[in-house]
Each structure stands twice: as structure tokens, then as C-alpha cells.
A and B are shown apart, each in its own frame.
Chain A
Amino acid sequence: LAKTTQPISMDSYEGQEVNITCSHNNIATNDYITWYQQFPSQGPRFIIQGYKTKVTNEVASLFIPADRKSSTLSLPRVSLSDTAVYYCLVGEGSVGGATNKLIFGTGTLLAVQP
């Protein structure tokens, strides 16, 4: 399983765009990049997944360069309610056996201030 590295914490203000970068130098050909969000006292929540280039949904955008050794989660115009821990994970998407495990690191604590 590819190891990921992301900042321990980030600060932002309401209304700003926030970019959280994750490095995954050993990503394999079959691996997808997935981001989760976790609010205090709740379980993590899947927010976005991608394989290459750019993916956008109603919550965030995910930018993946051609070499796929890093990825950037972009949160547009954050609000106080976006304060959470964001986890970057790398692993096989749909093939590889049902025993595929997810490895959560310690994530990035995003603190949004007024």
C-alpha cells in the first residue's frame, strides 16, 4: 500500500480557497486517490476520489498531476463548518481482492477562522 504524506495542520479564513496537498511517491498503477473528511466526534466521510487529472463534485475538487505522485484537494470558499480533519488515502479502486484495506494516517487538521 502506498504511503501518503500530508501536512499535520492548516489554517484558513472564511471565504478563502483551501488547497491541501498529499504526496504519494510510491503510488501503483491500479491505485486510486481518495479523500475523507472527519468532523469531531463523527466517523470519516468520503468526499472525493480520482485516478488522474481533475475531478470535481459538489464538495471539492481533486487535482492529480500526470505523474500521480501527489494530489491536491481544493475546497472553494471555506466556511467555519469546513473545520475538520482531512485524510488522503491511496489504494486499489475496484480490483484486487475483497481484503483490500484502507490505511488512514493522522490527516490534516483544517481550522477555519471567521
Chain B
Amino acid sequence: DVKVTQSSRYLVKRTGEKVFLECVQDMDHENMFWYRQDPGLGLRLIYFSYDVKMKEKGDIPEGYSVSREKKERFSLILESASTNQTSMYLCASRAVERLQKQFFGPGTRLTVL
């Protein structure tokens, strides 16, 4: 089965720090995604990548950037962390043949103080 791993389960950072969240998938999937999940708001798409070096903004890209240099790895970058970026961050991947079937990682709970 597909495995999607995220670099940290819990992370605490200070306001203004640069934060890197890394995601790796092992099934050679073309598409990868970053979401954030907040109580009462469901999952919201931050960025997605449909291939290496390709990226598209999701619904809430402000304050974030991404990098996809290799097919298996998709990084989310918070250039200058702020307290309103405290959230659960979820990475996902999928094959283009099954657009509705995404495989999610365990999530990173980020707290910005």
C-alpha cells in the first residue's frame, strides 16, 4: 500500500522563524498536495503539485511556498511563521489515474508561539 510520511508529527516554532515541512511518498505518484486542517473549517488546500517542479496555488496559499525537486518529495515552507499558521498540516499524494483517491500522511501539528 502507499505510504506517505511527514517529517514531524509535532513541531513548535516561534513567530518569524522559517519552517520547513517535508512529505515523502513511495508510490511514484505524480500529484502531491498540502492541506491545513482547522476545527470547524475542514481541510483547506494550500498548494498542489502535479509533477516535478510544477506547482499550483490552492485556496489559501498566502504565507506559504512549496518546492518539488524530486517526484517523491514535496516540501511546504512557511517563510516567516505567524501564530495564525498554527494548525494541523496534511500532505497527500495520488496517481493521475484515480483523481479521487488521495493517500494522506499522518499530519504535522504545528504550533507557532
Contacts of A43 in B (CB 8 A): 4, 90-92, 104-107
* Prevailing SS type, chain A contact patch: loop
Selected from B48, B56, B98, B100, the residue in CB contact (under 8 A) with A89 is B100
The verdict on A100 contacting B99 (CB below 8 Å), with A44-B43, A105-B42 known, is yes
For A95, the closest partner residue in chain B by CB is B99
* A34 part of interface (Cβ distance < 8 Å): yes
In Å, the complex CA distance between A101 and B58 comes to 9
Interface size class of A (residues with CB under 8 A): 20 to 34
- A29 located at the interface, meaning its Cβ lies under 8 Å from any Cβ of chain B in the complex: no
Task: Judge whether A98 and B92 touch: CB under 8 Å.
Answer: no
Question: Across the interface, do B102 and A93 meet the contact criterion of CB distance under 8 Å?
Answer: no
The answer to whether B30 has its CB under 8 Å from any CB of chain A is yes
CB within 8 Å for A102 and B40 given contacts A41-B107, A43-B107, A94-B97 = no
Please judge, given known A-B contacts A44-B43, A104-B43, whether A98 and B50 are in contact too, CB under 8 Å.
yes
B96/A98 in contact, CB under 8 A: yes
Q: Mark A4-36, 1 if CB is under 8 A from B, else 0.
A: 000000000000000000000000000010100
Beta-carbon contact of B100 and A99 below 8 Å: no
A96 within 8 A of B: yes
- Given A94-B98, A102-B45: 17 more A-B contacts, CB < 8 Å: A41-B106, A41-B109, A46-B100, A46-B101, A46-B103, A49-B100, A92-B100, A93-B99, A94-B97, A94-B99, A98-B96, A101-B58, A102-B99, A104-B35, A104-B42, A105-B42, A106-B41
- Could you jot down 8 A-B contacts, CB within 8 Å? A34-B101, A44-B104, A91-B100, A93-B98, A93-B99, A94-B99, A98-B30, A105-B42
Binding site for B on A (CB under 8 A): 32, 34, 41-46, 49, 87, 89, 91-94, 96, 98-107
